[in-house]
Chains A and B, each alone.
Chain A
Amino acid sequence: MALKQVQTTCPYCGAGCQIMFTVDADANKIVEAVPADGRTNEGTLCLKGHYGWDYLNDPQILTKRLRKPMIRKGGKKSPLVEVSWDEAISYVAEKLTEIKGKYGPDSIMGTGSARGAGNEANYLMQKFMRACIGTNNVDHCARI
């Protein structure tokens, strides 16, 4: 069993606690999570910090992890069908281009994400909406 340690920032509230994970690299599984000495948490964690990583194992208690791109090929309410990334990306690009052409850039709305995605993905999302689509219609759940 090849063990490695990785320190990262907790994905839950805005306190920004640091967690040290021990990972079984062969099994690709987390073995243990302990508090690390971060600026804000100073070696403490709450119960979400201690136990909140199990969703990575996809235990399907509530819902299930998304594993493949999917499209409703028969329109609204039709079943979702698994597709390749190439098909999903071209489909999205074509539909957005079509809607932009027909109704203008302000007919498209995009969101950022205040959760796992991180700052870089949020930067790219707003750049995409502003520079590629041509609208300032981008917002996220800070006001929700």
Chain B
Amino acid sequence: MGIPEIEDAKCLLCFGYNGADSHPIVARRIVRGRQKGMKIICADPRVTETARISDIHLQLKGGSNLALVNAMANVIWKEGLADEKFIQEHTKGFDEFLKVIENYTPEYAAEISQVPAETIRQAARMYATNKPAMILYGMGVCQFSQAVDVVKGLANLALMTGNFGGPSMGIGPVRGQNNVQGACDMGALPNSYPGYQSVTDPASREKFEKAWGVPLPDKVGCPITHVPYRILQEKEERKRIHAYYIFGEDPAQSDPDLAEVREALDKCDFVIMQDIYMNKTGLHADVILPATAWGENEGVYTCADRGFQRVRKVVEPEGDLKPDWQIIAEISTAMGYPMNYKNTEEIWNELIDLCPSFTGATYEKIEKYGSVQWPCRDKSMEDKGTPYLHKDGIFATKDHKALFYGTDWHPPLEMENEEYPMSLSTVREVGHYSVRTMTGNCRTLRNLEDEPGWVQISPQDCQKLKIQKGELVKVLSKRGYCISRCLPTERVKPGAVYMTYQWWIGSCNELTIAHLDPISNTPEYKYCACRVEKIQDQEWAERHVKEMYNDIRTQMGIQPGKGARS
């Protein structure tokens, strides 16, 4: 399915996905769908913009996703709303799945999720009886220690209602970054070569060994979220990470438990940073390699719905910069593995021939059609790509059948307790992007929000803590603390607070926990225990925030008085 089809669904289940803040253009499709009569079910602990225009808002307690999803499956089955023909013809494992969901009555799920049983029933009926129904999910599903199970749980709903393989149906993760799909497509993953060909599959390995002319390792590599452990705690000498080549990432701002990340970077023998702007990671890097930015280089991105699109040079780079691909090629050549490419198209041509799903997507074709969704297998101009991945219910398994996968719900790792009685979840800011080295350096965007950010908290909790809008407050967890401004809002329920992660001072990743989903290795950014404290001396706090901010800028070598802040 593709982004344009969202508005033509009869029903949208929007789960842990806040389009208005993270993808405004996708959110427009949701609004347009609403105008066309689409039913909307929104599962989110906050009253998001989607929740405001939804027919049913499942305002669940954070960390209860799978209980709610399983209960919806339970209702669909018990009330005879499942598409038994589709289940029979296109799937496997339904009976085992039924055994799991049997226990998830709406009443049981209501206890866990705080959503009334009758509301769960209504949501399940609405989803199952308005076809085509589409599911969109976001980080509110993925950033839990039980994440992959929930993605599979949502896929179960689509499977049991026959919502796969046609227009405006299926299940879609809406990708947070411009090229997160592309980095996966290209095999920047520890378990797969480009085109999702497994490093443990001997035939794939042999193919890449032949193409690249060297023997290749057969063991799955280290996921990025294991790096602090592999630097600080790994006992086996040959598995300990001694060098870390960081390319276009800022782990010292974006990763959970920042105190641990900083310690790891400082204890790692050799840290290379390749980036466009100085950032928090740069304060710990041994070498900095300056690269051209978007707007100064050529290439291809893959957007969230598998569409390859061209990026083009808009302005000439100023300074002693090189494109990322050229820097990598020069290091490789200097290490005795020559890489000689004249331009990005040469690299592209090499890689599409190694990936059957991408082979047909030539530069010429992407130029002509503007966007080509993979799989695109044939180089002829007639193969324009594939809008529906599982067209007509034919799945990418050996027997073309989809597999039901039922698991039990479990709570997040760090629950509220006496010392830290509230829960913290990280969320997105509409005007800022990731670690904000880009948007924070855009004059119009930085005016929307600035340091030290906000902590969203219910008016009831504000009253209890005697804090008011705009006041600086201290937010603490077992791992660290930061200072941010109090934002009382009816959008959140008592007991839970929400912060965005791009601020240097209001840096909520000082608090977050590096506990991971066992399959995806994604951290539980959406749940840890925290406490909010009033700061009595506000004048001191305001001064302290400014001093800390200026201190970081000085460490980064920015001259005092430079920039719009002065």
Q: How far is the CA of A106 from the CA of B214 in the complex (A)?
A: 16
State whether A120 and B276 are in contact (beta carbons under 8 Å apart), knowing that A8-B312, A48-B439, A113-B183 are contacts in the complex.
no
Q: Which of A49, A61, A112 contacts B564 (CB 8 A)?
A: A61
State whether A124 and B249 are in contact (beta carbons under 8 Å apart), knowing that A44-B25, A138-B189 are contacts in the complex.
no
Q: Which residues of A contact B248 (CB under 8 A)?
A: 111-117
A8: min CB distance to chain B, Å: 5
Taking a contact as CB atoms under 8 Å apart, the answer to whether A137 and B247 are in contact is no
Closest to B308 in A: A119
A118: min CB distance to chain B, Å: 3
Q: Which residues of B contact A128 (CB under 8 A)?
A: 328, 331-332, 337, 339
Known: A106-B239, A120-B351. 9 other contacts (CB 8 A): A14-B180, A52-B438, A66-B291, A113-B179, A117-B248, A120-B299, A123-B194, A124-B341, A141-B183
Cβ of B362 under 8 Å from chain A: no
Cβ of B266 under 8 Å from chain A: yes
B558: min CB distance to chain A, Å: 5
Cβ of B202 under 8 Å from chain A: no
CB contacts under 8 Å to B, within A55-70, are 55-56, 58-70
Q: How far is the CA of A140 from the CA of B278 in the complex (A)?
A: 19
Taking a contact as CB atoms under 8 Å apart, the answer to whether A123 and B286 are in contact is no
Cβ of A6 under 8 Å from chain B: yes
Taking a contact as CB atoms under 8 Å apart, the answer to whether A39 and B371 are in contact is yes
Q: Which residues of A contact B563 (CB under 8 A)?
A: 59-62
Give me the interface of A with B, judged by CB distance under 8 Å.
Answer: 6-18, 21, 23, 28-30, 38-42, 44-49, 51-56, 58-72, 76, 80, 85, 88-93, 95-97, 99, 102-132, 134-144
Taking a contact as CB atoms under 8 Å apart, the answer to whether A140 and B188 are in contact is yes
Q: Which of B282, B297, B328, B558 contacts A118 (CB 8 A)?
A: B297
Taking a contact as CB atoms under 8 Å apart, the answer to whether B307 and A67 are in contact is no
Taking a contact as CB atoms under 8 Å apart, the answer to whether B288 and A13 are in contact is no
State whether A139 and B309 are in contact (beta carbons under 8 Å apart), knowing that A14-B181, A125-B328 are contacts in the complex.
no
Taking a contact as CB atoms under 8 Å apart, the answer to whether B186 and A126 are in contact is yes
Taking a contact as CB atoms under 8 Å apart, the answer to whether B295 and A8 are in contact is yes
Q: How far is the CA of A92 from the CA of B273 in the complex (A)?
A: 11
Closest to A36 in B: B370
Cβ of B145 under 8 Å from chain A: no
Taking a contact as CB atoms under 8 Å apart, the answer to whether B300 and A107 are in contact is no
Taking a contact as CB atoms under 8 Å apart, the answer to whether B444 and A62 are in contact is no
Cβ of B520 under 8 Å from chain A: yes
Q: Which of B178, B238, B446 contacts A10 (CB 8 A)?
A: B178
Taking a contact as CB atoms under 8 Å apart, the answer to whether B311 and A15 are in contact is no
Q: Which of A61, A67, A125 contacts B446 (CB 8 A)?
A: A61
Q: Which of B25, B190, B351 contacts A46 (CB 8 A)?
A: B25
A104: min CB distance to chain B, Å: 4
Please, could you name 14 A-B residue pairs with CB atoms under 8 Å apart, sorted by A?
A: A13-B176, A39-B370, A47-B430, A59-B564, A61-B441, A66-B277, A97-B335, A116-B293, A118-B301, A119-B185, A121-B324, A124-B328, A128-B331, A139-B223
Q: Which residues of A contact B377 (CB under 8 A)?
A: none
Q: How far is the CA of A61 from the CA of B520 in the complex (A)?
A: 36
Closest to B436 in A: A62
Q: How far is the CA of A46 from the CA of B315 in the complex (A)?
A: 22
Q: How far is the CA of A139 from the CA of B223 in the complex (A)?
A: 6
Q: How far is the CA of A64 from the CA of B348 in the complex (A)?
A: 31
Cβ of B219 under 8 Å from chain A: yes
Q: How far is the CA of A39 from the CA of B316 in the complex (A)?
A: 27
